[in-house]
Amino acid sequence: MSPKKQSNITVSEFILRHVESCPKEIVTFTANHFGITRQAALRHVRALIQSEKLGFSGTTRDRIYTLKNESWSKTFPLDGKLHEDQVWNREIRPLLGALPDNVLNIWGYGFTEMLNNAIDHSEGSAVVLSVIKNAVWQEVVIQDDGVGIFKKIQRTFDLDEENHAVLELTKGKLTTDAKRHSGEGIFFTSRMFDRFTIVSGSVQYLHGNNQEGDYIFGKDYLSLDHKGTIVMLRLANDATRLMRDVFDMYTIEHDSGFGFDKTIVPIRLAFQGDSMLVSRSQAKRLLNRFERFKVVVLDFEGVQEIGQAFADEIFRVFPNFHPATEIRDLNANDQVQKMISRAKKA
């Protein structure tokens, strides 16, 4: 592993930030980065252990270092009397401790949005809230025993599979109760946190904002069929992300003001197993509800190639019928870009 140069960071901060990625080599890794001896780096590690920020296991030669976690958990009845703002102020906010304002703002927004979803949509009887925290990051888990978010979306919108529900969810503007919700909460929450995960039924969706991208894990990955919905929110204690920057990224100004009129859709979520993206049916499934946006950015990260019919349906047919929606491509390799260009010129 090649150390990434970081300015204005202490040896202890460096150790805490990198111990998860190199738990066995953290002493050598730190010494090489700062140009100090292993003994000097080890002194910092021992100090972090003494202050209970690091833990370890194994013998001296094969020692593995880890961040030391604290955890908290509590169950709340979904009896119509639970209010997300009260739970935030009385239970969760005090547990998170002293954090920068931008980090607290994200936590307040994301937690209350996700707990409100459990209260209003889960059809469950109880929700379990958990907090896992260490010197680098904190994670909040919201687990209900309801019908399951992907199954509910699949049922409401008559989708073929739960995977299709994930794809729809990532587009935004999706709600099973349009009278009370805009369908923006999950979309914006997923883009504010370092890692956003939903597990429901036999499907897990992960959105990572630090180079992880978007992934769906299915039955081959999950050993259990999870009842209800589990939402996991993780954010670094020193995150620099601002809520307003996330909102601005997807907001477009028009005659009537500003609106959530831009979305970014990860094309890799349209894959099913080893299937190629070649058919018009696959394209039409992807294009579902695009007309609700003024700009749709299709992120082709990780997509090696697409078929002619798939490209034609997206980049020629759809714009002909929906000229008010602009479709852009992002991270398309040369092969994909050639197919897109060919479709646009047809």
Question: In three state form, how does the secondary structure of 6-71 look?
Answer: CCCCCHHHHHHHHCCCCCCCHHHHHHHHHCCCHHHHHHHHHHHHHCCCEEEECCCCCCEEEECCEE
Predicted model pTM:
0.87
Fold designation for 250-345: Transcription Regulator spoIIAA (3.30.750)
Domains of the chain: which residue ranges? 11-67, 70-243, 250-345
Phi, psi angle pair for 165, to nearest 5°: -65, -40
Q: Closest by alpha carbon to 292, among 160, 207, 184?
A: 184
Query: Bridge partners of 235?
Result: 138
pLDDT tens digits in sequence order for the chain, 346 residues long: 334 444 578 999 999 999 999 999 999 999 999 999 999 999 999 999 999 999 999 987 789 999 999 999 999 999 999 999 999 999 999 999 999 999 999 999 999 999 999 999 999 999 999 999 999 999 999 999 999 999 999 998 898 888 889 989 899 988 777 666 667 889 999 999 999 999 998 899 999 887 667 888 875 555 566 789 999 999 999 999 999 999 999 988 765 556 789 999 999 888 765 578 999 999 999 999 999 999 999 999 989 999 999 999 999 999 999 999 999 999 999 999 999 999 999 7
Q: What was the pLDDT predicted at 249? A: 92
Question: What are the distances in angstroms from CA 132 to CA 30, 72, 98, 237, 270?
Answer: 26, 7, 15, 12, 32
Query: Could you say which of 1.10.10, 2.60.120, 1.10.3210, 3.90.550 is the CATH number of the domain covering 11-67?
Result: 1.10.10
Q: What was the pLDDT predicted at 253? A: 72
Q: What was the pLDDT predicted at 243? A: 95
Q: What was the pLDDT predicted at 211? A: 66
Top CATH class of 70-243 equals: alpha beta
Question: What are the distances in angstroms from CA 74 to CA 77, 84, 91, 137?
Answer: 10, 14, 9, 20
- Sequence-distant (6+) residues with CB within 8 A of 56 are 49, 63, 64, 65, 66
